[in-house]
C-alpha cells in the first residue's frame, strides 16, 4: 500500500482502470468460452443423434433384418436385446471401455479412451423382443482445437482491449489533471516571484475552477493575515518604543544621581512600566482571542450581571474625585440561569475597556450609563456617555488595532487596543459590537451576545 501511495494519481487511476478492465473482460471471455463450448457440444450431440437415427428407424421397421453399415466417418455400434453387437465401427479404445458408458443416460457423455476424448450418445429403441441399444461417438480433438483457437483469439482480443482501455485512461486522466498541474506551476511561479498575483480561474464551471477559486480565497486570507501580523508587529514595536525610551531616560537620570528629581523620575518610570504592562497584557489577550482560547469557561447571565457590577465599581474607583456619574441598569426579574457563551472574566475585561474609553471621553465631567437587557436570543449590553462622540470618518476604523483618534474623546493616551479586544471578544462567541454617535452627544456602544439553545459544556481553563 505504501508503494502505491507513492505513485501519481494518474498512474493509480490507470492501474485501477486496467485492473477493472482485466476483470471485466476476463469474465466476458470466460462466459463466451463456456457459451461456445456448450453450443459446440449441443451441435455435436445432435450430429450423434442424427448418426443413430437411421439405425433407430430400421430397428423400429424391421427389427430382425441385418443392419446396414454406418457411413464413412461415423462411429456407431448397434446392440440387440441380448447385448450382442450387430453393427460396430467404434475404435478399439472405445470398445474396450464400453463398461464406462452409462447406457441409461439420454444426454451427452464424455469418454476418455487412451489419449483421445470422445463425445458419446446412447439411444434405446424398444421392440417386442426387447430393447436395442445404439451407441454413437465422435472424437473431440477437432472441437477442442477449434475451442482452443477461439479461446486464444478472444484472449488476445480482450487483452488488446484492456490495454486500449489503460491507454485511454492514461490519456483522459492526464487531460483531466492538466489544469491541476497548471495550477501547481502557477502557484510555484507566484511563490518564486513573490508576486501578488492569484491563480488563474478558467471559464468552465467545473471542479478545477472551484478549486482555483477556493485556493485564491485562501491565498487572499493568508496574505491579509500576514499583512495584519506585519502591521501588528510594526505597530506594537512603535507603541513599545515610547514607554521603553521614557523608562530608559528616567533610569539614566536616576543613575546620574540628581537627588532633587528622584521622586519625579521614579514616578515617570512607574508610569512607563504600567504602560508597558498594559500593552503586553492587551497583546496577550488579543493573542488568546485570536487563537480561540477563552480565559475561563462559559457561564450564565447572573454571572455576567455580577461581573458588570464589579466593572462599574472599578470604573467609579478610577473616576474618584471627578465629576463623573456612572450608572448600571440591569433587568428586573431576569432569569439568571440563562446560559451565555462569553466567560464572565472576559465580559468584565470588555466592560473595563469600554468604560475606560468612556471615562477618557467625558474628561472628568459627564455621565456614563451601562444598560444590560435580556432578550430571547441575545444578551444586549449598551454603554453610553456624554462625551464628544467619534468623527464619522474614524468609525469604520475604530476596531482596528492601534488605531486612535488623536485629540478626540481623550484617546491620545490610549494604546489603541481596547476596542480591538472588545471586537475580538465578541467575535469569539459569535457576537457583535457596534459604535454609533448619539443623536445628542456622546457615543453608543452596543454589544450583543447570542444565547445558545442549550447550556454549553464547560471548557477547560487556559493559563
| Residue that is last in its domain, among 269, 288, 307 | 288
Torsion angle defined by CA atoms of residues 204, 206, 208 and 211, in that order, rounded to the nearest 10 degrees: 110
439 and 404 housed in the same domain: yes
Instruction: Please tell me the predicted confidence (pLDDT) of residue 330.
Output: 92
CA distance 304 to 350: 11
**Residues 339, 431 within the same domain:** yes
Residue 455 belongs to a domain: no
349 and 296 in contact (C-beta within 8 Å)? no
Residues 227 and 253 in one domain: yes
Clarify whether residues 439 and 308 are in a common domain.
yes
**Cα separations in angstroms, 179 against 46, 174, 207, 279, 328:** 62, 9, 10, 49, 62
Task: With respect to residue 200, please indicate whether it lies within any of the assigned structural domains.
Answer: no
Say which residues have a Cβ less than 8 Å from residue 69's Cβ, sequence separation at least 6.
87, 89
Is the Cβ–Cβ distance between 143 and 6 less than 8 Å? no
User: Is there a domain that residue 310 lies in?
Assistant: yes
Say whether both 223 and 312 belong to one domain.
Answer: no
Domain stops at, among 288, 323, 347: 288
Assigned domain for 75 exists? yes
Rounded to 5 degrees, φ, ψ at 87 are: -140, 135
Q: What is the pLDDT of residues 31-58, one digit of tens each?
A: 988 998 888 888 888 888 888 888 888 8
Distance between CA atoms of 334 and 331, rounded to whole angstroms?
A: 6
Q: Identify the H or E element spanning 29.
A: helix 9-61
**Is 369 part of any domain?**
yes
Q: What is the CATH number of the domain that holds 33?
A: 3.30.450
Rounded distance, CA 314 to CA 322, Å?
14
**Residue 337 belongs to a domain:** yes
- Residue 216 has, within 13 A of its CA and on its CB side, a CA count of 15
Residue 51: what pLDDT?
85
Strand partners, 436: 444
Number of neighbours of residue 285 by Cβ within 10 angstroms? 19
- Both 304 and 273 in a single domain? no
- Residues 223 and 196 sit within 8 Å (Cβ to Cβ): yes
219: its cell numbers? 491565498
pLDDT tens digits for range 104-155? 888 888 888 878 889 999 999 888 888 889 899 988 888 888 888 888 998 8
Q: Are 364 and 406 in contact (CB under 8 A)?
A: no
Shared domain check, 271 and 256:
yes
- CA–CA separation, 28 and 25 (whole Å): 5
Nearest to 145 by CA among 133, 137, 153, 135: 153
Which residue in 64, 52, 53 sits closest to 129, CA to CA? 64
Q: Please give the pLDDT value at position 312.
A: 92
Q: How far apart, in whole angstroms, are the C-alpha atoms of residue 204 and residue 187?
A: 20
Long-range contacts of 62-68 (CB under 8 A, 24+ apart): 63/127, 63/128, 63/129, 63/132
pTM of the model: 0.50
Residue 234, domain member (yes or no): yes
Residues 439 and 314 in one domain: yes
Alpha carbon 275 to chain centroid, angstroms: 47
DSSP conformation letters of 197-245: ------SS-SHHHHHHHHHHHHHHHHHHHHHHHHHHHHHHHHHHHHHHH
Identify whether residues 308 and 437 lie together within a single domain.
yes
Residues 218 and 364 in one domain: no
| 42 plus 124 within the same structural domain | yes
The whole-angstrom separation of Cα 86 and Cα 20 is 59
Cβ-contact 233, 402 below 8 angstroms: no
- Which helix (H) or strand (E) segment holds residue 129: the answer is none
Helices (H), 291-417: 301-318, 344-362
Judge contact between 129 and 120, C-beta under 8 A: no
Handedness of CA 404, 407, 408, 412 (dihedral sign): positive
The CATH number of the domain holding residue 433 is: 3.30.565.10
Predicted local confidence at residue 456, as pLDDT: 46
Give me the pLDDT at residue 345, please.
84
Residue 462 belongs to some domain of the structure: no
Q: Is 254 within 8 Å of 263 (Cβ atoms)?
A: no
State which of 273, 288, 303 marks the end of a domain.
288
CATH of the domain at 281: 1.10.287.130
The pLDDT profile of the chain, 463 residues, written as one tens digit per residue, is 556 667 788 888 888 889 998 999 899 989 988 998 888 888 888 888 888 888 888 888 877 765 667 777 788 988 888 888 888 888 888 888 888 888 888 888 888 887 888 999 999 988 888 888 989 998 888 888 888 888 899 889 989 999 998 899 899 888 887 877 887 888 888 777 776 778 778 777 777 788 888 888 888 888 777 776 766 666 566 556 656 776 777 677 666 666 566 667 677 667 667 667 766 666 666 666 666 655 556 788 999 999 999 999 989 988 888 999 999 999 988 888 898 888 888 888 889 889 988 998 898 899 999 999 998 899 999 999 998 888 888 888 888 776 766 544 444 455 667 788 888 888 888 899 999 998 888 899 999 999 876 544 444 444 3
Q: Judge if 413 and 282 occupy the same domain.
A: no
DSSP-derived 3-state class of residue 180: helix
Cα angle at 334 between 329 and 335, to 5 degrees?
140
> What pLDDT, in 10s, does the model give residues 67-117?
667 777 788 988 888 888 888 888 888 888 888 888 888 888 888 887 888
- Beta-bridged to residue 373, according to DSSP, are 380
Tell me the CA distances in angstroms from 361 to 208, 306, 366, one per residue in order. Answer: 54, 25, 9
Q: Give the relative orientation of helices 301-318 and 344-362 as an angle to the nearest 10 degrees.
A: 30
Residue 69 sits in which domain range? 11-149
Number of domains in the chain: 3
Q: Which helix (H) or strand (E) holds 409?
A: none
> How is residue 18 written as a grid cell?
486496467
Determine how many CB atoms are found less than 10 A away from the CB of residue 254: 15
Amino acid at each position: 500500500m505504501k508503494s502505491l501511495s507513492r505513485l501519481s494519481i494518474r498512474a493509480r487511476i490507470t492501474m485501477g482502470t486496467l485492473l477493472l478492465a482485466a476483470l471485466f473482460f476476463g469474465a466476458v471471455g470466460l462466459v463466451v468460452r463456456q457459451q461456445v463450448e456448450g453450443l459446440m457440444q449441443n451441435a455435436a450431440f445432435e450430429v450423434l443423434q442424427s448418426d443413430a437415427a437411421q439405425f433407430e428407424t430400421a430397428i423400429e421397421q424391421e427389427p430382425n433384418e441385418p443392419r446396414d453399415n454406418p457411413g464413412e466417418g461415423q462411429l456407431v455400434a448397434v446392440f440387440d436385446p441380448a447385448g450382442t453387437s450387430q453393427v460396430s465401427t467404434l475404435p478399439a479404445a472405445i470398445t474396450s471401455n464400453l463398461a464406462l458408458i452409462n447406457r441409461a443416460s439420454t444426454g451427452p457423455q464424455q469418454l476418455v479412451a487412451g489419449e483421445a476424448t470422445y463425445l458419446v450418445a446412447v439411444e434405446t429403441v424398444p421392440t417386442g423382443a426387447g430393447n436395442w441399444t445404439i451407441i454413437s461417438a465422435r472424437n473431440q480433438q477437432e472441437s477442442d482445437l477449434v475451442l482452443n483457437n477461439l479461446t486464444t483469439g478472444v484472449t488476445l482480443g480482450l487483452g488488446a482491449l484492456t490495454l486500449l482501455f489503460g491507454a485511454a485512461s492514461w490519456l483522459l486522466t492526464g487531460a483531466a489533471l492538466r489544469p491541476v498541474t497548471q495550477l501547481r506551476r502557477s502557484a510555484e511561479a507566484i511563490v518564486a516571484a513573490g508576486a501578488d498575483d492569484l491563480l488563474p480561474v478558467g471559464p468552465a464551471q467545473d471542479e478545477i475552477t472551484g478549486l482555483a477559486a477556493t485556493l485564491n480565497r485562501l491565498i487572499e486570507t493568508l496574505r491579509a493575515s500576514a499583512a495584519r501580523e506585519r502591521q501588528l508587529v510594526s505597530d506594537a514595536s512603535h507603541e513599545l518604543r515610547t514607554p521603553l525610551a521614557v523608562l530608559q531616560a528616567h533610569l539614566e537620570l536616576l543613575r546620574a544621581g540628581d537627588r532633587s528629581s528622584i521622586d519625579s523620575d521614579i514616578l515617570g518610570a512607574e508610569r512607563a512600566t504600567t504602560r508597558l504592562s498594559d500593552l503586553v497584557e492587551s497583546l496577550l489577550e488579543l493573542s488568546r482571542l485570536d487563537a480561540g482560547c477563552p480565559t475561563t469557561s462559559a457561564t450564565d447571565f447572573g454571572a455576567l450581571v455580577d461581573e458588570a457590577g464589579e466593572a462599574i465599581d472599578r470604573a467609579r474607583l478610577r473616576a474618584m474625585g471627578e465629576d463623573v456619574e456612572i450608572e448600571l441598569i440591569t433587568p428586573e426579574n431576569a432569569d439568571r440561569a440563562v446560559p451565555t457563551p462569553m466567560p464572565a472574566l472576559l465580559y468584565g475585561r470588555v466592560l473595563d475597556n469600554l468604560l475606560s474609553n468612556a471615562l477618557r471621553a467625558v474628561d472628568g465631567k459627564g455621565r456614563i450609563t451601562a444598560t444590560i437587557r435580556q432578550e430571547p436570543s441575545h444578551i444586549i449590553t449598551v454603554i453610553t456617555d456624554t462625551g464628544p462622540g467619534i468623527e464619522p470618518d474614524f468609525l469604520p476604523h475604530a476596531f482596528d488595532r492601534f488605531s486612535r483618534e488623536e485629540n478626540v474623546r481623550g484617546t491620545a493616551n490610549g494604546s489603541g487596543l481596547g476596542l480591538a479586544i472588545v471586537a475580538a471578544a465578541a467575535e469569539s462567541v459569535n457576537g457583535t459590537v457596534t459604535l454609533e454617535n448619539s443623536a445628542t452627544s456622546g457615543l453608543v456602544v452596543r454589544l450583543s451576545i447570542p444565547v445558545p439553545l442549550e447550556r454549553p459544556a464547560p471548557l477547560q481553563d487556559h493559563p
